[in-house]
């Protein structure tokens, strides 16, 4: 089994739960980024704005480079990514990067969403799938 990188929101409490489910099935799972906590981005913004730093300059700063490099290193070493929904723009960017890099991608919903989006087919095209329950995901990964 390869390495599974869980992608998701720092505010989604399902991420570590799904990570544990995958580990129980023998997968190596990277979800360490979740340890930064649900307000990590808010605190980064607050810190940078208190210093008078613009968003543009903050994105080019040391803190952003450190976090980005940490996540990218693990995205590059994984074989499979799972976007745990709901997730925001960052998670979707990571999913696109990983699929574009030749990784197998999955999108994991805990139930079928009200709003449909055809572009989740990128996950299917990568050899992954779109799953509407965690059990379906666990059987597919």
Structural domain tally of the chain? 1
Residues of the chain with pLDDT > 90: what percent?
96
Res 44: pLDDT:
96
The answer to whether residues 63 and 54 touch, using CB atoms and an 8 Å cutoff, is no
What's the pLDDT band for 135 if we cut at 50, 70, 90? very high
pLDDT by residue (tens digit) across 67-106? 999 999 999 999 999 999 999 999 999 999 999 999 999 9
Please provide the average confidence, as pLDDT, over all residues in the chain: 96
Q: Please state, in angstroms and rounded to a whole number, the distance separating the CA atoms of residues 107 and 128.
A: 8
Residue (of 52, 53, 54, 29) closest to 141 by Cα position: 29
CATH code at 38?
Answer: 3.40.50.450
As a whole number, mean pLDDT of residues 16-37 equals 96
pLDDT of 23 strictly over 90:
yes
Res 1: pLDDT:
73
Q: Please state, in angstroms and rounded to a whole number, the distance separating the CA atoms of residues 78 and 93.
A: 16
As a whole number, mean pLDDT of residues 17-32 equals 97
The answer to whether residues 77 and 3 touch, using CB atoms and an 8 Å cutoff, is yes
Quote the Cα angle for 76-82-87, to 5°. 105
Which structural domain, as residue segments, surrounds residue 7?
Answer: 3-140
pLDDT of 112 strictly over 90:
yes
Residues of the chain with pLDDT > 70: what percent?
100
Q: Please state, in angstroms and rounded to a whole number, the distance separating the CA atoms of residues 134 and 114.
A: 17
């Amino acid at each position: 089994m390869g390495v599974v990188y869980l992608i998701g929101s720092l505010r989604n409490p399902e991420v570590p739960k799904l990570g544990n489910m995958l580990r129980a099935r023998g997968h190596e799972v990277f979800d360490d980024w979740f340890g930064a906590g649900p307000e990590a981005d808010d605190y980064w913004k607050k810190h940078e704005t208190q210093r008078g730093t613009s968003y543009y300059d903050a994105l080019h700063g040391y803190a952003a480079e450190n976090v980005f490099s940490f996540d990218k290193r693990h995205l590059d070493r994984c074989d499979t990514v799972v976007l745990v929904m709901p997730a925001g723009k960052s998670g979707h960017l990571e999913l696109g990067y990983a699929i574009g890099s030749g990784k197998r991608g999955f999108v994991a919903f805990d139930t079928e969403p009200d709003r449909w989006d055809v572009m989740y087919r990128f996950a299917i095209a990568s050899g992954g799938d779109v799953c509407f329950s965690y059990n379906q995901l666990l059987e597919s990964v």
